[in-house]
A = this chain, B = another copy of it.
Amino acid sequence: MPSQALPGFRDFYPDEFLLRAHIFRVWREVAARYGFEEYDGPPLEPLELYTAKSGPEIAGQLYGFVDKGGREVSLRPEMTPTLARMVAARANGLRKPIRWFSVPQLFRYERHQRGRLREHFQLNCDLIGEPGPEGDAELIALAVDIMRAFGLTERDVRVRVSDRRVLNALLLGGGVTEAQLPAAYAAVDKLERSRREELTAQLAAGGIDAAAADGVFETAAIRGAPALAAALEGVPGGAEAGAPLRRTLAALDAMGLGGFVDVDLTIVRGLAYYTGTVFELFDASRTLRAICGGGRYDNLLLSLGGVDLPALGFGMGDVVLGELLKERGLVPSGTASIDVFVAAITGDDVPHVLALAHELRDAGLRTEYALNLQAVGKQLKLADARNARIAVVIGPDDRARGEVMVKDLAAKQQRAVPRAAVVAELQTGIDTRPGT
């Protein structure tokens, strides 16, 4: 039998599953607070669903194959095409704005990507049918509140926000032509990872002269809303282009979240895809990859599914987030624990152990007992190994008095409790330590 998972796939042993469950729980809780409803689609889709959005060259990065029915299919690399397909199929019947989220497992398979994960989980939140900048603020706020719910502050995590319309206005105002915009965007996108001379050469190759190239670098260097507003004043249509982002930032301020946000025009993201606001969340020290990325894609649903609805969304993966939470010590304790362990002193006590254990479980308490009769001391060791808070010991003498012995395993104290009262007492969390 193969002894390992396929390369790039993770096993989640229970101690590792705890972090994943914690991440999923927080994602779901905060999304629900924002009125988002969960949906899901198939992990396998027609290959064409992805090539229709990203072009045939995407197939080289996908976990694709031909199924037994001769269909070209792929494990899903992203959720947006499935979302577009599902929304298009029921567009008229769905109340707008649509607030949907999903927690899909996503898959990629490029050859020669040794050591890299080929799957991850990703929270996808999308807001469909709302064209205004308050929608952008709503979505960014959701991403920020997820960070806060994990215990991360504005000193831990930063939101970098840009806007396609703003960058266009500034680049065009700085002498770049419409036709040269893709070359300019490519340079802005590479700014953090490349030397300036290299980029100048690339810009020149794209037909952008030295003066206009300086304009590109100046634009990309703008940080903060006031500097951006000043720059926009100097270009045609700048005030209009800057209005949506200004309103988005004002709304985030009104929610008390402005402190998380940096205006930063070097955030580019997919050029063919986004039409307005784009944003990414990073750890403040920028030692990790992006935690989350998203933006407004007002034309995508029309081009993919034939439904003309404005939309915006983000994706947040479990891997970088998990690394950050571990780094900051914000992960739940790695030890699973139970509430109560029930022990028998003699074989005659076993049916009573089973009955009480079942009552405790019915009361919602995580309960275990030894599945084969053994000495009480050994049973209590099992209770310790399972991190039980309480042990209940049932023996013939206590039973004759209608009692059981309740042991607080942390405090190392015990007292007799009436059998008829013990479930309610443990369930309501009444202090089980002896009175004196």
> With A32-B366, A338-B35 in contact, do A371 and B130 touch (Cβ < 8 Å)?
yes
On whether the beta carbons of A46 and B2 are closer than 8 Å, the reply is yes
CB distance from A242 to the nearest CB of B (A): 19
Q: Within 8 Å of chain B (Cβ to Cβ): is A195?
A: no
> With A33-B365, A67-B65 in contact, do A17 and B39 touch (Cβ < 8 Å)?
yes
On whether the beta carbons of B35 and A368 are closer than 8 Å, the reply is yes
Q: Within 8 Å of chain B (Cβ to Cβ): is A1?
A: yes
Contact of A42 among B6, B67, B368 (CB under 8 A): B6
Q: Within 8 Å of chain B (Cβ to Cβ): is A68?
A: yes
Q: Within 8 Å of chain B (Cβ to Cβ): is A109?
A: yes
Complex interface residues of chain A between 1 and 41 (CB less than 8 A to chain B): 1-7, 9-14, 17, 20-21, 29-30, 32-35, 37-41
Chain A contact patch, size range: 35 or more
Cβ contacts under 8 Å, A14 to chain B: 37-39, 100
Cβ contacts under 8 Å, A46 to chain B: 2, 6
Q: Within 8 Å of chain B (Cβ to Cβ): is A235?
A: no
> With A2-B48, A145-B361 in contact, do A135 and B42 touch (Cβ < 8 Å)?
no
From A69-77, A200-208, A224-232, the one touching the partner chain is A69-77
Contact of A105 among B1, B43, B127, B385 (CB under 8 A): B43
CB distance from A13 to the nearest CB of B (A): 6
Of residues A256, A354, A355, which shows the largest number of chain B Cβ atoms within 10 Å of its Cβ?
A354
On whether the beta carbons of A372 and B134 are closer than 8 Å, the reply is yes
Complex interface residues of chain A between 123 and 144 (CB less than 8 A to chain B): 127, 130, 132, 134-135, 137-138, 141
Q: Within 8 Å of chain B (Cβ to Cβ): is A89?
A: yes
From A80-88, A159-167, A286-294, the one touching the partner chain is A80-88
From A170-178, A247-255, A263-271, A405-413, the one touching the partner chain is A247-255
Q: Within 8 Å of chain B (Cβ to Cβ): is A330?
A: no
On whether the beta carbons of A109 and B67 are closer than 8 Å, the reply is yes
A-B complex: 9 closest residue pairs judged by Cβ atoms: A9-B42, A14-B37, A254-B354, A254-B351, A65-B65, A255-B358, A35-B368, A33-B361, A12-B40
Q: 26 A-B Cβ contacts within 8 A?
A: A1-B52, A1-B81, A1-B304, A2-B49, A3-B85, A5-B42, A6-B46, A7-B69, A11-B89, A17-B40, A20-B40, A30-B361, A34-B367, A42-B119, A63-B67, A67-B109, A69-B111, A95-B385, A97-B371, A130-B371, A137-B354, A145-B362, A254-B351, A255-B354, A255-B355, A256-B355
